[in-house]
């Protein structure tokens, strides 16, 4: 992180940097990525809500298959969509109000 922090690298890409970690460690990794994002553009593929909740912006990448054609789309999420996506990451198929509340709390912790 120190090297990236003081270099002139405009964009850093991390693909599943959070493999094998979770909980508090994932939150710390997310925080470090957020700090790096103050000086560089960070693109991070993650499946951890603790990492995703720390992002300055949240993009959702999804695939759609129809017949023999698959397309990939990317959309930027607004705050409420971020809460829904974080809830999905934490809660799986069935998202409850309790899961949404936890996702909002995670975002509030980051944004103040």
| pLDDT one-digit tens code per residue, 19-31 | 999 899 999 999 9
CA distances from 46 to 13, 16, 89 (A): 11, 5, 10
Nearest to 30 by CA among 54, 65, 59, 48: 54
CATH 3.40.50.300 fits 2-111, yes or no: yes
Tens digits of residue pLDDT in 54-95: 999 999 999 999 999 999 999 999 999 999 999 999 988 889
Please tell me the distance from the alpha carbon of residue 70 to that of residue 16, in angstroms, as a whole number: 22
Residue 6 pLDDT level (bands cut at 50, 70, 90): low
The model carries a pTM of: 0.83
Strand partners, 70: 65
Angle between the N-to-C axes of helices 97-111 and 79-91, in degrees from 0 to 180, rounded to the nearest 10: 120
């Amino acid at each position: 992180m120190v090297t990236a922090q003081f270099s002139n690298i405009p964009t850093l890409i991390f693909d599943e940097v959070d493999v094998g970690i979770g909980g508090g460690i994932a939150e710390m990794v997310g925080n470090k990525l957020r700090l790096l994002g103050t000086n560089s553009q960070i693109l991070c593929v993650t499946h951890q809500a603790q990492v995703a909740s720390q992002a300055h912006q949240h993009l959702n990448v999804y695939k759609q298959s129809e017949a023999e054609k698959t397309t990939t789309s990317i959309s930027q999420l607004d705050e409420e969509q971020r809460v829904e996506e974080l809830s999905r990451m934490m809660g799986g198929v069935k998202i409850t109000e309790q899961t949404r509340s936890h996702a909002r709390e995670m975002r509030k912790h980051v944004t103040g």
